[in-house]
Structure 1
Amino acid sequence: MISILSRSALISAYGRSGYCDEVIKVFETLKSSGLKPNLVAYNAVIDACGKWV
């Protein structure tokens, strides 16, 4: 099972690479797996998608 920290790191990496669609997919997977997103995960999503909009 992948931890919330690992998924947040994955979100950040996708965001830096410009893959906003993948950012959303990983975030949705995080939520659907039963993990509660923390501040780091939310910040990573906002930062990633805010750069590429």
Structure 2
Amino acid sequence: MDLKTLNCIDKLRRLKSRGPETPKWLKPYHLLLIAFWAVFILGAMIKFLEQNH
């Protein structure tokens, strides 16, 4: 095996060990935004349901 193939195998092995890449929308900052919106929407729904009673 020449150096080129060995480098290729090494690169593949390193890519595998790193694991799956996290999607951009799952980064912590975006998670906080999603959580905030979820709480906001839930609060609005609860207020709306209380109004109907």
Tell me which interval the TM-score lies in, with the shorter structure as reference length: 0.3 to 0.5
Using the size of structure 2 for normalisation, the TM-score is 0.32
More helix by share: 2
Using the size of structure 1 for normalisation, the TM-score is 0.32
